[in-house]
């Protein structure tokens, strides 16, 4: 896949590029470690069983992913007749985010929300292509200091965030491939949600019993 660091040769037709991108994304998805995904599912199941909250956060496209995942973990599972995961996207309260960014600094935008909302047993799920966003690292370090557990969805080489996580799913790509990483993170969201629903309509079968 051509990147800003490695432009490579690009197909010169729309169809050719579509095939190129889809094949590349399929390759990246196939390299995800299923054991990491299984660990993610188990961690979220523990949070759901214990009635704990999963706080999600990201920047840019990953902020949108955090909001989408919180929706699917909560009302999505509930509407499907499954037990919901209590999930809050720290990206969704614009007044709070702008207050912290303006009055303190953007680095604190997630950490300071956790200082108000976090309770023992809650999880922090950080979503980042680079794994090096200062505000995510600050929040993860604060949760670790409180004895809490950090979940990560990362890309590229995993960055600093990968080393702070108790559970992590790493989408390995060259640095700069934001699109495929963000695509893969959304696939992981829907994989997890359909597992908790006990079925996958797109596959036409019930979820496998082995994790």
What confidence tens digit (pLDDT) does each residue in 3-28 have?
544 445 778 899 999 999 999 999 99
What confidence tens digit (pLDDT) does each residue in 160-207 have?
999 999 999 999 999 999 999 999 999 999 999 999 999 665 555 444
Note the pLDDT of residue 146. Answer: 98
Give the closest residue to 52 by CA, choosing from 177, 151, 168, 200.
Answer: 151
Question: Is pLDDT at 117 greater than 70 in this prediction?
Answer: yes
Question: Is pLDDT at 52 greater than 70 in this prediction?
Answer: yes
Question: Which residues have CB under 8 Å from 140's CB, separation 6+?
Answer: 124, 126, 150, 152, 161, 164, 165
Q: Spell out the domain ranges in the chain.
A: 34-198
Q: Is the pTM of this model over 0.85?
A: yes
Tokens of 173: 């790509």
How far is it, in rounded angstroms, from Cα 177 to Cα 112?
A: 30
How far is it, in rounded angstroms, from Cα 26 to Cα 2?
A: 15
What confidence tens digit (pLDDT) does each residue in 61-99 have?
999 999 999 999 999 999 999 999 999 999 999 999 999
**Average pLDDT estimate for 34-49:** 98
Tokens of 94: 């614009």
Domain at 34-198: CATH code:
3.40.50.10490
């Amino acid at each position: 896949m051509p990147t800003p660091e490695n432009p490579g040769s690009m197909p010169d037709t729309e169809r050719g590029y579509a095939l190129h991108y889809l094949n590349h994304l399929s390759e990246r998805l196939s390299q995800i470690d299923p054991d990491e995904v299984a660990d993610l599912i188990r961690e979220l199941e523990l949070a759901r069983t214990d009635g704990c909250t999963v706080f999600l956060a990201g920047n840019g496209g990953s902020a949108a992913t955090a909001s989408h995942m919180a929706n699917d973990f909560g009302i999505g599972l509930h509407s499907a007749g499954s037990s919901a995961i209590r999930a809050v996207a720290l990206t969704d309260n614009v007044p709070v985010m702008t207050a912290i960014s303006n009055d303190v600094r953007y680095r604190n935008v997630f950490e300071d929300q956790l200082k108000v909302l976090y309770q023992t047993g809650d999880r922090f799920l950080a979503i980042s292509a680079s794994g090096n966003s200062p505000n995510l690292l600050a929040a993860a370090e604060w949760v670790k200091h409180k004895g809490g557990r950090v979940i990560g969805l990362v890309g590229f080489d995993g960055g600093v965030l990968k080393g702070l996580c108790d559970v992590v799913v790493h989408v390995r790509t060259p640095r700069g491939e934001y699109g495929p990483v963000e695509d893969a993170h959304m696939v992981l969201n829907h994989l997890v949600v359909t597992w908790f629903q006990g079925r996958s309509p797109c596959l036409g079968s019930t979820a496998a019993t082995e994790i």
